[in-house]
Structure 1
Amino acid sequence: MGVKLQEIIVRKRIEFQDLAGKIIAIDAPNIIMSLFSFARKNSDGSYGGLILDRTQRPISHLYNLLYRVNFFYSKKIFPIFVFDGKVSELKRVITKDQLKDFLFTKKWYEGAIKRGSRGLAREIALSKEYMWQNILEESKQLLGALGVPYIESPGSAESQCAYLVKRGIAQFSNSQDFDSLLFGCPHLVQNLSKSLRRKVHGKWRYEKIIPLVTNLQKSLKQLDISIFQLVDISLLIGSDYFPGIKGIGPKKALKFIKLHKQIENVIIEEKDKYDFNTLSEKIITQVRRIFLLPNINEANNQFFWNLPHKSKIFNLLCEEHHLNKERVSNNIDKLSSSYEKCRDYFIHKKEEAKSVQLTLDRIMFK
């Protein structure tokens, strides 16, 4: 879901050449979900369902993740993928109980494959208990085989992305959501795709997009609010941690926060017009703590990018998912070439400009 701030946050167009030589922290669950949503289109234009392998498991996330990494390298961008860890009880995503369900359904799926029960295997593979967690686990396997670093946050991926940017380890956070801003991320970049288009939610059509960047401090200054007040706005309009107050959108929330300074005062002054019964003091405190005092991994500050490991990629994509070996091999060759050009560009930048010395000293190649 994410917080809907696009109506009040100013974003500016950025060209891909302006991102060359940059390290970008990727909100992995958010981006992988957008890659996974790719599906077949029938000749008559109707929805053809998810792309599955012969064992009835989705594979679009694997092909598209391979393409996305190659795209980053081709634009001279080094990505760090960041995954969620233990998330807040307020956020409705994978929990410990769901993880146990995944382990159970994984064994169930493997049993169905051994018995040749194709229909049951398909049903299990597409169940919510199995599918999303399996997609994340396979994405990590593929990233490791591609030589791309990833990190698991002890909390949310967005908070870890924000930390990496604040520390200067990365220059941007990449997510289609705006939650990174609530975590204090200085620079958020969106719409990084080769096709520069995205599928319209709930419809079989696409819309054109352009890469956009948000500067948090400039946005706060323009809105004349603090980061604390931005978090209060998220409570009014809704985020992953609270559904918001019915009838209050971004512009109205901004107006109320600027007028009443903080959400407690909004509740007092506007209680006759809106129902604030679900917005308890406990929830306000919890959400503020999540965004303003996030749980992050401060230990891992060095990241390594390597050439793709061909045999590991073949094992996952060709042996495990039965994808075309020649097609996969051609894509690995393209990726290796893009990686080497990207690496050489970074090394040249390091020798050429002292202004990027601090960042580039953190880059490790093998």
Structure 2
Amino acid sequence: MTSVHGGVTNSGSQSGSSYSLAWFNLPLTQEKVIALDTSVVMNQFRTATPFTSPLAGLFFRTLTFLEHDIKPVFVFDGKPPVEKIPQLKKRAEAAGRSRPLCTGAASSQTKDCLELLKHLGVPAIQAPGDAEGLCASLVRQGKAHAAASEDMDTLPFGANILIRQLNAKRDSEIIEYSLPKLLEALGISHEELVDLCILLGCDYCDKIPGLGPKKALTLIQKHRTIENVLLHINRETHRVPHFWKYKEARQIFLNPPHTPTPELIWAEPDEEALVKFLFSGHHIRREKVRHRMEKFREKRKSLREEREKEKAAGDCRQTRMEDFFRVTRKRNRPMEASSSGSKKTK
């Protein structure tokens, strides 16, 4: 779904929906748990470094997150809903593949990712369906502070905080979407946001052609449900798809499958296992792995010593995300977002 932030822009809202990570300014005693949509992370590596193993990127990025007090939880896609299969087939054809993987079975790369994360001491969970739904669930349950994904569908799934462009590059721009502030700015409920997203296009059903963000938002603000919207649009200029499964899509967002989530546990990385795994798979040279692990230990030791000194001195300084990531927008400033968004490929 590519239109939520477009709708905000075209609505003329003055409060905006995207902010810097000021909410990351937590006391040192608190953890910052982020639920990451793993397919997005891996796609970023494949796009940015097509001749380098994505596992190498996952190794380096995860260590950087841990060094800066971000505790990642990697969430993997499960079996997609049947409503999504037509969309997956279209993407497979566009990518030149014969057919999409719709069984939910773990691919060889997924198995490698799981093994790598185990050696890194980082929790990983397989979702019953799409990963962004479980990421949102972890946020709603209070088990994660935010969900990190490029897929805007994470918002209609109910993630109170969505982070986009979260990577391990210094001074990279990070965008935060606050669902409560978004709903307040648009003057709609969560259920109405779901209907808005369906009108504008999602993974689970077709959209109504010719219905742009500004028009769709106006219709939802006025008529509140898709059923009422259908009574007030021109069927000649906005042809409703045959057998339109908008009700099924709505249920996927509002009633995703319940998944008992295991206790989230982080452990110290196993350097020897990492060296063996990454080198034997021709992902990274032994010396490079050991050098990075040495830097990781030094960084963690330095942070521990700094905290002990601050605690002894009674310093209440808070660890800040902007120590690493560049702050580009403050919460009290609106952000003009383009009407065209980016969507991940699964």
- Settle same-fold status: TM greater than 0.5: yes
When residues 129 and 263 of structure 1 are mapped into structure 2, their CA distance, relative to the original with a 3 A threshold, is closer
**How big is each residue's C-alpha offset from its partner over 1:263-295, in whole Å with a ceiling of 9 and x where there is no partner?**
122222212320102362xx1221111100001
Flag structure 2 segments of 5+ consecutive residues without an equivalent.
9-16, 89-96, 316-346
Q: Distance in 1 between matches of 2:5 and 2:112?
A: 32
- Whether the aligned pair in 2 keeps the contact of 1:16 and 1:75 (CA below 8 Å) is no
When residues 127 and 64 of structure 1 are mapped into structure 2, their CA distance, relative to the original with a 3 A threshold, is farther
Q: Partner residue of 1:35?
A: 45
| Counterpart among 227, 242, 248 of residue 278 in structure 1 | 242
Q: Partner residue of 2:19?
A: 12
User: Which amino acid in the other structure matches residue 22 of structure 1?
Assistant: K
* Structure (1/2) with the larger helix percentage: 1
- Whether the aligned pair in 2 keeps the contact of 1:85 and 1:153 (CA below 8 Å) is yes
Q: Partner residue of 1:91?
A: 84
* Identity percentage of aligned residues: 30
Q: Distance in 1 between matches of 2:7 and 2:309?
A: 39
Q: Partner residue of 2:218?
A: 255
Q: Partner residue of 2:143?
A: 169
Offset at residue 14 of structure 1 (A): 2.2
When residues 94 and 303 of structure 1 are mapped into structure 2, their CA distance, relative to the original with a 3 A threshold, is farther
- Whether the aligned pair in 2 keeps the contact of 1:24 and 1:80 (CA below 8 Å) is yes
**How big is each residue's C-alpha offset from its partner over 1:108-159, in whole Å with a ceiling of 9 and x where there is no partner?**
xxxxxxxxxxxxxxxxxx99879x9333222222111111111111122111
When residues 5 and 305 of structure 1 are mapped into structure 2, their CA distance, relative to the original with a 3 A threshold, is same
Is 1:142 paired with 2:120?
Answer: no
Q: Partner residue of 1:81?
A: 74
Q: Distance in 1 between matches of 2:306 and 2:70?
A: 10
When residues 76 and 38 of structure 1 are mapped into structure 2, their CA distance, relative to the original with a 3 A threshold, is same
Q: Partner residue of 2:32?
A: 22
Offset at residue 171 of structure 1 (A): 0.7
Is 1:217 paired with 2:183?
Answer: no
- Whether the aligned pair in 2 keeps the contact of 1:73 and 1:342 (CA below 8 Å) is no
When residues 167 and 340 of structure 1 are mapped into structure 2, their CA distance, relative to the original with a 3 A threshold, is farther
Offset at residue 93 of structure 1 (A): 9.3
- Whether the aligned pair in 2 keeps the contact of 1:4 and 1:239 (CA below 8 Å) is no
Normalising by structure 1, we get a TM-score of 0.70
Counterparts in 2 of 1:201-212, with a 5 A limit?
210-212=173-175
Offset at residue 161 of structure 1 (A): 1.1
Q: Distance in 2 between matches of 1:179 and 1:345?
A: 40
When residues 336 and 156 of structure 1 are mapped into structure 2, their CA distance, relative to the original with a 3 A threshold, is farther
Range moving further from structure 2, 287-296 or 305-314: 305-314
Q: Partner residue of 1:326?
A: 287
Q: Distance in 1 between matches of 2:98 and 2:309?
A: 48
**How big is each residue's C-alpha offset from its partner over 1:219-252, in whole Å with a ceiling of 9 and x where there is no partner?**
1011011111111111111112224222122222
When residues 336 and 250 of structure 1 are mapped into structure 2, their CA distance, relative to the original with a 3 A threshold, is farther
Q: Distance in 2 between matches of 1:345 and 1:78?
A: 19
Q: Distance in 2 between matches of 1:273 and 1:88?
A: 30
Q: Partner residue of 1:226?
A: 189
**How big is each residue's C-alpha offset from its partner over 1:292-321, in whole Å with a ceiling of 9 and x where there is no partner?**
000132242x21111111232223211122
When residues 170 and 343 of structure 1 are mapped into structure 2, their CA distance, relative to the original with a 3 A threshold, is farther
- Whether the aligned pair in 1 keeps the contact of 2:24 and 2:32 (CA below 8 Å) is no
CA RMSD of aligned residues (A): 3.4
**How big is each residue's C-alpha offset from its partner over 1:74-96, in whole Å with a ceiling of 9 and x where there is no partner?**
2211111111112201224999x
- Whether the aligned pair in 2 keeps the contact of 1:307 and 1:339 (CA below 8 Å) is no
Q: Distance in 1 between matches of 2:215 and 2:288?
A: 52
- Whether the aligned pair in 2 keeps the contact of 1:237 and 1:253 (CA below 8 Å) is yes
User: Which amino acid in the other structure matches residue 91 of structure 1?
Assistant: K
When residues 340 and 236 of structure 1 are mapped into structure 2, their CA distance, relative to the original with a 3 A threshold, is farther
Q: Distance in 1 between matches of 2:48 and 2:294?
A: 24
Flag structure 1 segments of 5+ consecutive residues without an equivalent.
40-49, 53-58, 96-125, 198-208, 354-366
Q: Distance in 2 between matches of 1:347 and 1:83?
A: 37
Q: Partner residue of 1:305?
A: 266
Q: Partner residue of 1:44?
A: none
Higher relative contact order (CA 8 A, sep 6+): 2
Range moving further from structure 2, 339-348 or 284-293: 339-348
User: Which amino acid in the other structure matches residue 51 of structure 1?
Assistant: F
Q: Secondary structure at the match of 1:35?
A: helix
Q: Distance in 1 between matches of 2:218 and 2:202?
A: 18
Q: Distance in 2 between matches of 1:135 and 1:289?
A: 31
